């Protein structure tokens, strides 16, 4: 089925195009708009974006495949990125990943059988002072233990109907700063 | 010591709703931008930043004021300011605090910098994972636009300035300034050949200054206090000025981001700011000083600088972690200050396993343009995997060194050096451990990784 953005989201594309001296520069922001609507970057999305920005499909695909956050295949309802890099590893990141694999029944790179969660390994997500951590969709969850992670997953599962519609634009100050700001 | 200093860069972090313009303004935001745009000449601003000895906070430590001076625009050129908020060097998590807790400091710094370098447009490039930070900054920019601080007449001055955020989408290499510019222009994040440097030909082929988030956020205080006064906050004043954000993670009691003068020692960062080692019975074994690309330090290694003209002579015979943390002092030590965010490791850690962890990262993140980097990072990782699993050969340690040496200097950007330098540093500092693991593999407890993963009952979707 051919892809098209909703009228409201297409207005966002117009606003994005106005930010740059050429249309190509809007490519990554426009791909984000598409992925937020469609869930992943399908071949139809690539065709639509290429036409909208007057680029070749090959060059759009080249960009999509370069960046880890663009999904070139469908993913679960929620995506969990578990950080595996050094600071998280030093504070128990492996145990977090192993627990996720057992609970979801899939390895990193896979999707749970119920389609609720995709599990991805992430390289350093810049929350090293709050290690170990995972990112679930747009949210960072930090200073994790296996128990706190389970509580978070339970709440994501039970709230998935409403949280799926939350966009980053609706962020409030509640999400700001779990970092100790300065010396105590 | 240090812990009782009045915060400057992070002065609004503790203020409730500090990301709201009205709140930030009540606590001093935008007063300096107003003064700079309405009463100062652009060249005078750059002069203050030069006097401040503000060394770039993104990792390379280049003096910001001197960089600004490289702009040499022709008539008709559009000059751009690009702010690097990619923050993806492993171990680094300081810029996120500015973006989340004080976006108006960054916007104010960008306004002043645009005016100083002759730019009318700034792009703030932020890694895609920071979706919340981008939303916060977008909301802050909306407020600044509504107030008229960003737009056609900032503070009544006939000098239009527009500032936009630009989201990345997951790629470490986009922190490299020319890869970042390609990403900004809607391309794969592959670094460009230099020269030309961005100041001559950067974003959209135009003269461009690329500065880190923290660098730009320091500008308002420099202009408000005067470059010299700000510079003198540092313990290494004149060459490396001011205050900065330090990060500390890993095996410490209080990991986090702390503001302190330039030039505190690593020992202070760990013991005073970081609250000391996490486990009292596990002493400090090694510390990566400023992101994973900076070669590792060890506390039992002493500074060897007997010659009186050696830049580190003052610290001859002292531990490496007692040398003040500065761009030049750390270079003399054979490492780099990098992003000033330390990763602390205690005696339970095996350094070959650390090397494997980091080389997995570099292999994954190499953009693949240059053969020595693409192949070298993979070869380093493969060799380390073999060594760690007990399939190594004694000569593999020399192989690691050989591969790393052949990556250096043979590629478009500094990624290969950023891979090879920590690899060589680890082998140099912990040679015996590498030789031992190459002969026998990692100790038993370290091999749980793959065996426990194999025990996962798989019922994943396979499509």
Give B4's pLDDT tier (boundaries 50, 70, 90).
low
- Looking at the fold, whether B249 and B303 belong to one and the same domain comes out as yes
B159 in contact with chain A, both atoms CB, cutoff 8 A: no
Residue of B nearest to A76 (CA): B461
Q: Is the dihedral of CA A34, A36, A39, A40 positive or negative?
A: positive
Q: Please answer yes or no on whether A63 and B250 come within 8 Å at the CB atom.
A: no
| Residue B16, domain member (yes or no) | no
Nearest-Cα residue of chain B relative to residue A97: B453
Statement: residue A177 has pLDDT above 60: no
pLDDT-based confidence at residue B80 (cuts at 50, 70, 90): very high
Same domain, B30 and B165: yes
List the structure tokens of A139: 């949210």
The pair phi, psi for residue A110, each rounded to 5°, is -110, 180
Q: Which residues of A touch B271 (CB under 8 A)?
A: none
Which of these, A172, A159, A82, lies nearest to B132 by C-alpha position? A172
CB contact under 8 A, B343 and A87: yes
Residue B26 pLDDT > 60: yes
Count Cα atoms within 13 angstroms, Cβ side, for A107: 10
Q: Which residue has the tokens 């708009």?
A: A33
Indicate if the pLDDT at residue B245 is higher than 50: yes
Average pLDDT across chain B, whole number: 94
Q: DSSP per residue over chain A, as a string?
A: ------HHHHHHHHHHHTTSSSSGGGHHHHHHHHHHHHSS--HHHHHHHHHHHT--HHHHHHHHHHSTTS-SS---SEEEEEE-SHHHHHTTHHHHHHHHHHHHTS-TT-B-TTSSEEEEEES--S-GGG-S-EEETTEEE-S--HHHHHHHHHHHHHTHHHHTT--GGG--GGGS--S--S--
Strand partners, B287: B297, B344
What tens digit of pLDDT does each residue of B204-242 get? 999 999 999 999 999 999 999 999 999 999 999 989 999
Q: In the predicted model, what is the mean pLDDT of residues B295-320? A: 97
**Nearest chain A Cα distance for residue B101, angstroms:** 6
Q: Is A175 on the interface with B (CB under 8 A)?
A: yes
Q: What is the enclosing helix (H) or strand (E) of B210?
A: strand B208-212
Mean pLDDT for the stretch of residues B308-336: 97
| B160 shares a domain with B45 | yes
**Distance of alpha carbon B182 from alpha carbon B202, whole angstroms:** 9
Rounded mean pLDDT, B398-427: 98
Confidence at residue A1, expressed as pLDDT on a 0 to 100 scale: 77
Residues B200 and B250 in one domain: no
> Would you say B150 and B161 are in contact if contact means Cβ atoms under 8 Å apart?
yes
Percentage of the residues of chain A whose pLDDT score is greater than 90: 84
Residues B276 and B160 in one domain: no
Q: Does the pLDDT at position A173 exceed 90?
A: no
In a domain, B448, yes or no: no
Q: Does A75 touch chain B (CB under 8 A)?
A: no
Looking at residue B453, its pLDDT comes to 42
DSSP assignment string, B153-192: SGGG-S--BEEEEEE--S-GGGGSHHHHHHHHTTS---PP
Among A residues 123-162, those touching chain B with beta carbons less than 8 Å apart: 123-131, 135, 138-140
pLDDT band at B444 (very low <50, low <70, confident <90, very high): confident
Question: Please, are residues B454 and A106 in contact by the beta-carbon 8 Å criterion?
Answer: no
Residues B365 and B276 in one domain: no
Per-residue confidence (pLDDT) for residue A172, from 0 to 100: 33
**Residue A8 to chain B, least CA–CA distance (Å):** 18
Q: What is the mean pLDDT of residues B447-456?
A: 44
Which chain A residues have a beta carbon less than 8 Å from that of B458?
105-107, 110
Which residue among B329, B346, B363 closes a domain? B346
Cross-chain Cβ contact A183/B258 below 8 Å = yes
Residue B13 lies in a domain: no
CB contact under 8 A, B168 and A28: yes
In whole angstroms, what is the distance from residue B27 CA to residue B42 CA?
A: 25
Q: Which residue of A has its CA nearest to B450?
A: A98
Confidence at residue A175, expressed as pLDDT on a 0 to 100 scale: 34
- The residues pairing with B164 across neighbouring beta strands, listed in sequence order, are B123
Q: Is the complex ipTM higher than 0.90? A: yes
Residue appearing with tokens 């680094």: B92
Cα B200 to chain centroid, rounded? 23
Tally A–B CB contacts below 8 A.
Answer: 237
pLDDT of residue B340: 97
Does B88 reside within a domain? yes
Task: Give me the residue spans of the domains in chain A.
Answer: 7-66, 78-160
Domain boundary among B302, B320, B346: B346
- The answer on B109 and B218 residing in a single domain is yes
In whole angstroms, give the CA distance from residue B134 to residue B363.
28
B340 and B385 inside one domain: no
Total residues found in chain B within this entry: 463
Cross-chain Cβ contact B204/A129 below 8 Å = no
In a domain, B331, yes or no: yes
Out of B7, B167, B345, whose CB is closest to A28? Answer: B167
How many alpha carbons fall within 13 Å on the CB side of residue B305?
A: 19
For residues B375 and B336, state if they share a domain.
no
Tell me the percentage of chain B whose pLDDT exceeds 90: 94
CATH code of the domain covering residue B283: 3.10.20.600
Q: Which residue range is the domain that position B291 belongs to?
A: 243-346
Homologous superfamily of A7-66 in CATH? NADH-quinone oxidoreductase subunit E (1.10.10.1590)
B13 pLDDT more than 60: yes
Tokens of B287: 């510390």
d(CA B152, CA B162): 8
Q: What is the pLDDT of residue B5?
A: 75
CA distances to A144, B85, B87, B124, B240 from B99, in Å: 23, 9, 11, 10, 24
Residues 6 or more apart whose CB falls under 8 angstroms from that of A124 comprise: A83, A85, A86, A87, A88, B88, B89, B90, B91, B92, B172, B292, B361
Q: pLDDT higher for A160 or B94? A: B94
Asked if omega into A132 is within 30° of 0 (cis), the reply is yes
Structural domains counted in chain B: 3
What is the domain-level CATH number for residue B208? 3.40.50.11540
Q: What is the CATH classification number for the domain harbouring B369?
A: 1.20.1440.230
Task: Tell whether A98 lies on the interface with B, counting CB pairs under 8 A.
Answer: yes
Q: Give tens-digit pLDDT for B130-163.
A: 999 999 999 999 999 999 999 999 999 999 999 9
| Contact assessment for residue A37 and residue A9, using Cβ atoms and an 8 Å cutoff | yes
- Same structural domain, B188 and B66: yes
Q: State residue B452's pLDDT score.
A: 40
Same domain, B285 and B192: no
Among B285, B312, B346, where does a domain finish? B346
Per-residue model confidence as pLDDT tens digits over A43-92: 999 999 999 999 999 999 999 999 999 999 999 999 999 999 999 999 99
For B20, name the nearest residue in chain A, comparing CA atoms only. Answer: A173
Q: Beta strand B162-167 with B208-212: parallel, antiparallel or unpaired?
A: unpaired
Tell me if B271 is assigned to some domain.
Answer: yes
In chain B, % of residues over pLDDT 70: 95
Indicate if B323 and B427 belong to the same structural domain.
Answer: no
Query: Are B130 and A126 a contacting pair at CB < 8 A?
Result: yes
Interface test with B, best of A129, A133, A172 (most B CBs within 10 A): A129
Say whether A102 and B256 touch across the interface (CB within 8 A): no
- CB-nearest to A105 from B78, B247, B458 is B458
**What fold is seen in the domain A78-160?**
Glutaredoxin (3.40.30)
């Amino acid at each position: 089925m051919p892809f098209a953005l909703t009228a409201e989201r297409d207005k966002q594309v117009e606003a994005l195009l106005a930010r740059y001296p050429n249309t190509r520069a809007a490519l990554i922001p426009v791909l984000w708009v598409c992925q937020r609507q469609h869930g992943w970057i399908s071949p139809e999305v690539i065709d639509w974006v290429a036409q909208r920005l007057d680029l070749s499909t090959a060059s759009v695909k080249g960009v999509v495949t370069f960046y880890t956050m663009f999904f070139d295949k469908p993913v679960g309802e929620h995506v969990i990125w578990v950080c595996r890099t050094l600071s998280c590893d030093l504070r128990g990141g492996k145990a977090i990943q192993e627990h996720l694999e057992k609970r979801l029944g899939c390895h990193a790179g896979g999707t749970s059988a119920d389609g609720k969660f995709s599990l991805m390994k992430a390289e350093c997500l810049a929350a090293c002072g709050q290690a170990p951590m995972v990112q679930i969709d747009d949210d960072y969850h930090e200073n994790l233990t296996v128990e706190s992670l389970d509580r978070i997953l339970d709440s994501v599962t039970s709230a998935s109907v409403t949280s799926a519609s939350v966009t980053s634009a609706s962020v409030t100050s509640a999400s700001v700063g779990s970092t100790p700001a300065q010396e105590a | 010591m240090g812990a009782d200093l009045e915060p400057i860069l992070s002065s609004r972090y503790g203020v409730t709703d500090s990301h709201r313009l009205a709140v930030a303004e009540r606590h001093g935001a935008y007063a300096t931008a107003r003064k700079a745009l309405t009463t100062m000449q652009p060249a005078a601003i750059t002069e203050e930043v030069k006097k401040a000895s503000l060394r770039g906070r993104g990792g390379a430590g280049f003096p910001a004021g001197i960089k600004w001076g490289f702009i040499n625009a022709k008539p008709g050129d559009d000059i751009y300011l690009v702010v690097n908020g990619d923050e993806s060097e492993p171990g680094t998590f300081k810029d996120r605090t500015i973006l989340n807790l004080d976006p108006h400091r960054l916007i104010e710094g960008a306004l002043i910098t645009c005016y100083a370098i002759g730019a009318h447009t700034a792009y703030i490039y932020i890694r895609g994972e920071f979706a919340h930070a981008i939303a916060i900054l977008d909301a802050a920019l909306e407020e600044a636009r509504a107030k008229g601080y960003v737009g056609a007449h900032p503070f009544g001055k006939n000098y239009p300035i527009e500032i936009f955020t630009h989201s990345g989408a997951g790629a470490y290499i986009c922190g490299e300034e020319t890869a970042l510019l390609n990403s900004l222009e809607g391309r794969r994040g592959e670094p460009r050949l230099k020269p030309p440097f961005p100041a001559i030909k950067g974003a959209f082929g135009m003269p461009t200054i690329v500065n880190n988030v923290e660098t730009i956020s320091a500008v308002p205080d420099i202009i408000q206090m005067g470059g010299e006064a700000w510079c003198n906050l540092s313990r290494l004043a004149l060459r490396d000025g001011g205050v900065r954000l330090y990060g500390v993670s890993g095996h410490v009691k209080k990991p986090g981001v702390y503001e302190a003068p330039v030039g505190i020692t690593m020992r202070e960062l760990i013991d005073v700011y970081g609250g000391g080692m996490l486990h009292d019975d596990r002493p400090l074994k090694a510390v990566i000083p400023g992101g994973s690309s900076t070669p590792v330090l060890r506390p039992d290694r002493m500074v060897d600088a007997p010659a009186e003209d050696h830049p580190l002579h003052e610290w001859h015979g002292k531990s490496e972690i007692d040398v003040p943390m500065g761009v030049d002092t750390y270079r003399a030590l054979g490492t780099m200050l990098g992003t000033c965010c330390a990763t602390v490791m205690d005696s339970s850690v095996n350094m070959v396993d650390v090397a494997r962890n980091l080389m997995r990262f570099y292999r994954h993140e190499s953009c693949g343009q240059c053969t020595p980097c693409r192949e070298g990072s993979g070869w380093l990782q493969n060799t380390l995997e073999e060594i760690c699993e007990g399939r190594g050969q004694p000569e593999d340690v020399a192989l690691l060194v050989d591969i790393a040496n052949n990556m250096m200097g043979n590629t478009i950007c500094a990624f290969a050096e950023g891979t090879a330098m920590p690899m060589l540093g680890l082998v140099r500092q912990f040679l015996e451990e590498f030789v031992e693991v190459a002969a026998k593999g990692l100790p038993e407890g370290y091999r749980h990784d793959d065996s426990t993963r194999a025990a996962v009952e798989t019922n994943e979707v396979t499509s």
